[in-house]
Amino acid sequence: MASSKKKRKSGGSRSPVVQQRSVPWVMIGAVTVVLLLAAGVFGYVYVQYLGRQDVLAFTPSQENPDPSKDIPGVETAQYEAQQHVSPDQRVAYDQTPPFGGPHDGIWADCTGQVYDTPVRNENLVHSLEHGAVWIAYNPDKVQGADRASLAERVEGEPYTMMSPYPGMESPISLQSWGHRLQVDNADDKRIDQFITALRQNNNGVYPEIGGACQAYPGAFDPADPPPLDTSPPPPNAVTMDGRGAQTAPAGGMGG
């Protein structure tokens, strides 16, 4: 009887069955991917927003007529305007590249032109007098993606131009009338700050407000511009004080 009860007792006890829920790894993975993508998009938009705000801080205003003063590394100089030379004259510029001084009576086209060849200083400086920004780069130091990044800032943008400048000490140099900024790489945020602050800044920053940027018909060919002469200026070159230059507008073509 005892053994029968034992058997009955032992046979009557059953182990509880535990049901485990499967983890929805697919759903978790999908949600994680969506969150990561959202975070990436938000981060990108936020960085772009900060970049735009940084550039907008350098927009000229009545309260801040020349924001370039707040850009580290910007050099400034005072130059006399409307001093013209003929196409066969050279100017003994005091800076390389120059950013002011006597210049050719014909300006270089600055309607978003990206020149593939070095352009004559005297024509480019006249464009600066009209409110343009000129990006010069050393072709031995700036190539490929860096050059393309600079070109994107120029192509189709009014009062902007770009050209190679062989032998230039700095990889990249930006010029506007009386202002220059030299930088080492195309990612430098000061490039956009300089352009924003000085391109067509009508607060007395450049002399010829309202000056045209389109090439004078028949006088300057953007497809075949006059070449840069890198040889030392001859003894009869026009000096920076204007000796040998014309002080009146040349040929009725502007200042």
14 within domain boundaries: no
pLDDT score for 33: 78
> For residue 96, what pLDDT is reported?
97
Question: What pLDDT, in 10s, does the model give residues 151-178?
Answer: 999 999 999 999 999 999 999 999 999 9
CA distance 174 to 148: 16
Average pLDDT over residues 130-158: 98
How confident is the prediction for the chain on average, in pLDDT? Answer: 88
Amino acid letter, 154 = V
Check pLDDT > 70 for residue 203: yes
pLDDT score for 45:
43
**Residue scoring higher pLDDT (243 or 246):** 243
The answer to whether position 145 is within a domain reads yes
**What does the block give as tokens for 23?**
């983890």
pLDDT at residue 26 in the model: 81
Q: Looking at the predicted structure, is the pLDDT value of residue 49 above 50?
A: no
**The three-state (H, E, C) secondary structure of the chain, written as one string:** CHHHHHHHHHHHCCCCCCCCCCCCHHHHHHHHHHHHHHHHHHHHHHHHHHHHHHHHCCCCCCCCCCHHHHCCCCEECCCCCCCEECCCCCECCCCCCCCCCCEECCCCCCEEEECCCCECHHHHHHHHHCCCEEEEECCCCCCHHHHHHHHHHHCCCCCEEEEECCCCCCCEEEEECCEEEEECCCCCCHHHHHHHHHCCCCCCCCCCCCCCCCCCCCCCCCCCCCECCCCCCCCCCECCCCCCCECCCHHHCCC
pLDDT single digits (tens) 183-202:
999 999 999 999 999 999 99
Q: Is residue 225 part of a domain?
A: yes
Does residue 57 lie within any of the structural domains?
A: no
Torsion sign over Cα 185, 189, 194, 200: positive
Residue 62 pLDDT > 70, yes or no?
A: yes
Q: What is the pLDDT, as a whole number, of residue 252?
A: 43
Higher pLDDT, 25 or 22: 25
For residue 36, is it within any domain? Answer: no
* Any domain includes 61: no
What is the band of 107 on the pLDDT scale with cuts at 50, 70, 90? very high
Asked if residue 253 lies in contact with residue 123, where contact means CB atoms within 8 angstroms, the answer is: no
Number of domains observed in the structure of the chain: 1
Q: Which domain holds residue 138?
A: 71-244
48 occurs within a structural domain: no
More confident residue, 56 or 105: 105
Give CA torsion, residues 242, 92, 254, 88, to 10 deg: 110
Inter-CA distances, 126 with 56, 89, 239, Å: 27, 14, 16
Percent residues over pLDDT 70 in the chain: 82
Q: What is the pLDDT of residue 16?
A: 60
Query: Residue 35: what pLDDT?
Result: 79
Question: Is residue 233 situated within a structural domain?
Answer: yes
